[in-house]
A = this chain, B = another copy of it.
């Protein structure tokens, strides 16, 4: 370590040859801090790079590179034939900084973010988004152990050679056109949906799709039907758009359209999960589908069909979508690849009416200019080469087995407490608690022991709630499901 006073005007300059920062950077930092801290006043003459280098025993080029940077940034200035000075035009009074600037001392309390920013902070505090690993029986993950990642890697790298480079500039914000064609073909063939690629908007998944729908369809104060109970994501997205939420009860036929009309006939939007209602798992009946479409037509309202689990039906083929029944272009259909492929992919899509395509494309462009391109290209091949259908077929078998194992384990070990029906679709199931047991307290108790469930009653808004536990089973091999139930038995044996 070298320790010096440099002429009278310069503060102590410490150069440490073992410091990770380069010598040039150390000189730059020290002079900059001396100016900003007021130790070197505007107009002060600075020694030449030659004498600085000599005193510090360093190469002159090192000192002069540091000076060049300080000159470029306005800290120093040169006068022809007259050496280097601290910039004269620097506002003297602004150079006095609070003590210990390195600690970022704040002498006034920070200004708060916007009201929306404060609401977002509260959401964070409520734990709405926090995730900590994957514990049984979280619902976030599909069977990552069964995804063909090596194949996927090959599909991605195919598009990463020089010949493909020119495709990697900005693309259509609505998504890679061949991917939109592949999705449209899939929906036509497998979900009875007549749509063309121009109606498809690629998203970063359902949550973004919900936000785009809320932005494009709802003005602040507009009424929106949501299912009761409902998935928290939908509630959050529509609330953030300033909508007035109208919880509509769900019975064994799905959303009760007549009650929705009684509560808010003039709502602008209805949010539904027709294939597999979350969390109850019921299917929206055909009569209700027709009633809902009829209401939307009469009220000139929109229907947001969130088909997040639509691909996973264990008896027969996936049910036709509500979108496929819609003759009035009232339905906005949301699909995701987080469950069919993997969540880290961050891709999903929406099918929007032709009349709204421009507004949705614009909203998507404004949000973030579109999704990452290489994953979109790989997904296109995954569809076009038949992997998607093959993977779904395999996964339906895997998930059907996981579902059976979970139901059996619950019945065997927790049958005295929980009653459960075998769901015929979806990646989660509800087990009802004996009357009188509080699901919220139970879920909290189990969480302390590493078991992650959702209390059914916490998903209700207004309707008298059922008490139960929502289990996700897709992300866990059969032995983990059994072990999870074993752990529950253990925890429930302990004094709460």
A97 within 8 A of B: yes
Is B145's CB under 8 angstroms from A156's CB?
no
Is A110's CB under 8 angstroms from B327's CB?
no
A426 within 8 A of B: no
Is A144's CB under 8 angstroms from B120's CB?
no
Other-chain contact of A372, B120, B166, B372 (Cβ < 8 Å): B372
Of A95, A329, A355, most buried by chain B (CB within 10 Å of CB) is A355
A262 within 8 A of B: no
Residues of B within 8 A of A204 (CB): 204, 367-369, 371-372
Is A369's CB under 8 angstroms from B205's CB?
yes
Is A346's CB under 8 angstroms from B359's CB?
no
A80 within 8 A of B: no
Which of A53-61, A214-222, A304-312, A442-450 participates in binding chain B? A214-222
Give the contact-size bracket for chain A. Answer: 35 or more
Of A72, A194, A207, most buried by chain B (CB within 10 Å of CB) is A72
Of A73, A131, A192, A315, most buried by chain B (CB within 10 Å of CB) is A73
Binary CB contact string for chain A from 136 to 154 against chain B (1 if under 8 A, 0 otherwise): 0000110011010110111
A131 to B172, CA, bound (A): 7
Residues of B within 8 A of A125 (CB): 358
Residues of B within 8 A of A30 (CB): none
Is B124's CB under 8 angstroms from A359's CB?
yes
Of A165, A205, A325, A346, most buried by chain B (CB within 10 Å of CB) is A346
A1 within 8 A of B: no
Of A89, A114, A144, A361, most buried by chain B (CB within 10 Å of CB) is A114
Which A positions have Cβ atoms within 8 angstroms of B? Answer: 21, 29, 32, 36, 65, 68-69, 72-75, 87, 89-91, 94-95, 97-98, 101-102, 104-108, 110-111, 113-118, 120-121, 123-125, 128-129, 131, 134, 140-141, 144-145, 147, 149-150, 152-154, 156-157, 160-162, 164-173, 189, 192, 194, 203-205, 207-208, 211, 215-219, 222, 236-237, 240, 268, 285-287, 289-291, 293-294, 297, 300-302, 313, 315-317, 319-320, 325, 327-329, 338, 342-347, 353, 355-356, 358-359, 361-363, 365-375, 475
The 4 A-B residue pairs whose C-beta atoms are closest, nearest first, are A74-B286, A153-B160, A344-B373, A204-B368
12 additional A-B pairs beyond A141-B169, A150-B160, beta carbons within 8 Å, are A72-B313, A91-B290, A111-B300, A117-B216, A120-B366, A124-B359, A129-B365, A134-B166, A156-B157, A168-B344, A367-B368, A375-B375
